[in-house]
């Protein structure tokens, strides 16, 4: 789908929301709708057609904007959003939606001033419209996700084959090694800060790698992903160094069963909360509900966390083409934790796995 086709899809949402135009200030949404990847920009998308569409960015990006966005006129102006509100006013736009889940209170106040100068422009809260479009991926996006997932899979396979997960290495060394191997497999970089958590640290859901040394008997939790052409992969595997003890094996089997239940619950039209429940019930029934302290998963694409949220309080249903993670975890403070996570795409007949590394308990 081209950026122009995406702007066209957005127009249907603008009509439904009774907006004359949307002021897009979230840079990820600007990229999605225009192709522009710079760090300062805003985009105006009118409801009535491409005429009047404008990208604003500053002087650092004159060359880049012309190259990346051949089909929308570019305004060079440091205060991008302000310039576009003024432009919208001059073009007769009245009901101007803005991304109220992104724009700050101060930035909004600054726009109100410009809107006031233009008399008729009325700024209306319009959160999440582009996010709603982005939640459903087209095949080009899914291919990008697949490539990113493959880079992460290949890096982990390499790491294990090279004996990179061994007692004596630090969490930090393993993280750097894994990230380097993802690059060798075509990643532009890590999709987020790689989590390597060994021993008791594995009980910290979002641990940052330290100089802690991997030791025999440790659970080693690895949560990592590759960034490729703007798309993020996300996976977690937990292994044991040496022979797993009974509690480790039991914990692993529990999380693996919950993860399988969560994956199995994915489907078109399914409530997101019920996917969370499918996995959570397995853990709760085992008496470990309190130790599964986060949501089951999240959408993934141009951002590492995006719509839809798969959580107990999440609303809405799954649609074909949504890319999501399924990542239950159980964390026993002071002892260790297990999380198992895949990235998948919702398909008419269930879900397609993009992260292909096996999920049997690995004892290294």
Residues that bind its own copies (CB under 8 A): 37-39, 58-64, 98, 100-109, 125, 127, 172, 176, 179-180, 183, 188-189, 193, 203-208, 293-294, 331, 333
Asked if 319 and 234 count as a contact pair (C-beta separation under 8 A), the reply is no
Asked if 233 and 225 count as a contact pair (C-beta separation under 8 A), the reply is yes
- For residues 7 and 298, which CB has a smaller minimum distance to its own copies in the complex? 298
- For residues 245 and 293, which CB has a smaller minimum distance to its own copies in the complex? 293
CA distance 311 to 280: 10
How many alpha carbons fall within 13 Å on the CB side of residue 60? 8
Least separation in angstroms between residue 151's CB and its own copies is 13
For 338, other C-beta atoms within 10 Å of its C-beta total 29
CA distance 191 to 189: 6
- C-alpha torsion sign, points 256, 173, 144, 12: positive
Q: How many residues does the chain have?
A: 364
Least separation in angstroms between residue 144's CB and its own copies is 16
Six-digit token string for 1: 């789908």
Q: What is the DSSP string of 114-159?
A: HHHHTSS-EEEE-TTHHHHHHHB--HHHHHHHHHHHHHHHHHHHHH
- For residues 184 and 245, which CB has a smaller minimum distance to its own copies in the complex? 184
- For residues 183 and 359, which CB has a smaller minimum distance to its own copies in the complex? 183
- For residues 41 and 275, which CB has a smaller minimum distance to its own copies in the complex? 41
For 159, other C-beta atoms within 10 Å of its C-beta total 18
Least separation in angstroms between residue 124's CB and its own copies is 11
- For residues 105 and 161, which CB has a smaller minimum distance to its own copies in the complex? 105
Least separation in angstroms between residue 38's CB and its own copies is 6
């Amino acid at each position: 789908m081209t950026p122009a086709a995406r702007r066209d899809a957005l127009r249907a949402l603008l009509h439904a929301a009774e907006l004359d135009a949307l002021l897009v200030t979230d840079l990820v949404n600007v990229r999605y709708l225009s192709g522009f990847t710079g760090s300062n920009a805003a985009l105006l998308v009118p409801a009535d057609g491409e005429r009047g569409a404008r990208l604003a960015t500053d002087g650092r990006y004159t060359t880049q904007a012309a190259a990346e966005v051949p089909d929308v006129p570019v305004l060079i102006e440091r205060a991008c959003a302000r310039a576009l509100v003024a432009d919208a006013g001059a073009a007769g736009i009245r009901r101007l939606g803005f991304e109220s889940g992104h724009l700050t209170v101060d930035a909004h106040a600054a726009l109100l001033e410009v809107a006031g100068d233009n008399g008729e422009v009325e700024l209306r809260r319009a959160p999440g419209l582009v996010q709603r479009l982005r939640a459903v991926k087209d095949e080009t996006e899914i291919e990008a996700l697949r490539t990113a997932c493959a880079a992460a899979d290949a890096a982990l396979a390499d790491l294990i084959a090279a004996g990179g997960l061994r007692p004596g290495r630090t969490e930090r060394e393993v993280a750097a090694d894994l990230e380097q191997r993802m690059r060798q497999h075509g990643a532009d970089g890590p999709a987020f800060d790689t989590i390597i958590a060994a021993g008791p640290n594995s009980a910290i859901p979002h641990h940052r790698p330290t100089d802690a040394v991997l030791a025999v008997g440790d659970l080693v939790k690895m949560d990592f992903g590759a960034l490729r052409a703007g798309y993020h992969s996300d996976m977690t595997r937990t292994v044991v160094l040496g022979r797993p003890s009974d509690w480790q094996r039991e914990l692993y089997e529990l999380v693996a069963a919950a993860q399988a239940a969560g994956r199995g619950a994915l489907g078109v039209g399914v409530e997101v909360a019920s996917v969370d429940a499918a996995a959570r019930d397995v853990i709760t029934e085992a008496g470990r509900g309190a130790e599964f302290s986060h949501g089951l998963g999240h959408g993934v694409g141009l951002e590492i966390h995006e719509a839809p949220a798969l959580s107990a309080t999440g609303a809405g249903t799954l649609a074909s083409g949504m890319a999501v993670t399924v990542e239950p975890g159980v964390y026993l403070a002071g002892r260790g934790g297990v999380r198992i996570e895949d990235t998948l795409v919702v398909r008419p007949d269930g879900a397609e796995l993009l992260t292909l590394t096996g999920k049997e308990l690995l004892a290294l």
